[in-house]
Amino acid sequence: MGRVEGKVALITGGASGLGAETARTLAREGAKIVITDVQEELGQKVAAEIPGALFFKHDVRSEEQWQDVVAKTVAAFGKLDVLVNNAGVVRFATVEDLSYADYKFQVEIMLDGTFLGCKYALPKMTKGGGGSIINISSIGGIKGLSVIPAYAAAKGGIISITRSIAVHCQEQGYAIRCNAIAPGGIETPMTAQAVSELAADAPGLEQNRNLGMGQPSDIANAALYLASEESRFMTGAVMVIDNAETIR
């Protein structure tokens, strides 16, 4: 217990799935928690489960809202130590069928949202003496999956921006680490949507059919490691947690 004792963690997309489980896991290990999401009712419910946690309604596409939630976090707890850029969404269609509006919607939430979170968290973390940024990518950003071109573009971009930010922090002498986690199939509301919307033999569901899916705790435990001082020598890395899907 106490692996992140006294740290302040801001988690986007924290109303359900990976974000909610990460919030619970970090809280159990001593962190003070701020959850943000567009799903206000669910987000308030998760925050109510965690003693002292705060919830803010937050569209990660908005620069102004990012400035606001970061400022509110620091006002409430005095600092920001951990940022988990987790908010995500998926729309299924091949590149020929996907609308440009749906493409932009996904990229703005995941890639632009990650950029904005990092941009506005860095000065606060620097002022507080350092921290850890954890960006949630996906194996969809590593391997080719025909039915998620926008999701794959965003998640692949998250891997690249994570590396750029890690190098930037080192060049500037910031005590801030920036890493990414790339999950495979995990049992969350978003993957339940995938299973319900796609045909049983659709490309990309092979692991779900053959190997099963992981649990949110599998990713939350990795986020805990990256948030803690146990990962002090780790930055610019991508933790692939996919039950060997990307190497098969």
Beta bridge partners, 33, equal 9
Tell me the residue type at 213: M
Question: How far is Cα 51 from Cα 195, in angstroms, rounded to an integer?
Answer: 34
Q: Has 174 been annotated as catalytic?
A: no
Alpha-carbon gap, residue 194 to 183, rounded angstroms: 15
Q: Rounded to the nearest 5 degrees, what angle is found at the Cα of 176, between the Cα atoms of 171 and 180?
A: 100
Side-chain half-sphere exposure of 18, counting CA atoms within 13 A: 32
Query: What residues contact 36, with CB distance under 8 A and at least 6 apart?
Result: 10, 11, 12, 13, 14, 43, 55, 56, 57, 58, 60, 69, 87
Three-state secondary structure call for residue 215 = coil
Catalytic one of 120, 151, 174, 225: 151
Nearest to 28 by CA among 8, 11, 4, 56: 4
Tokens 């002292």 belong to residue: 52
Active site residues: 151
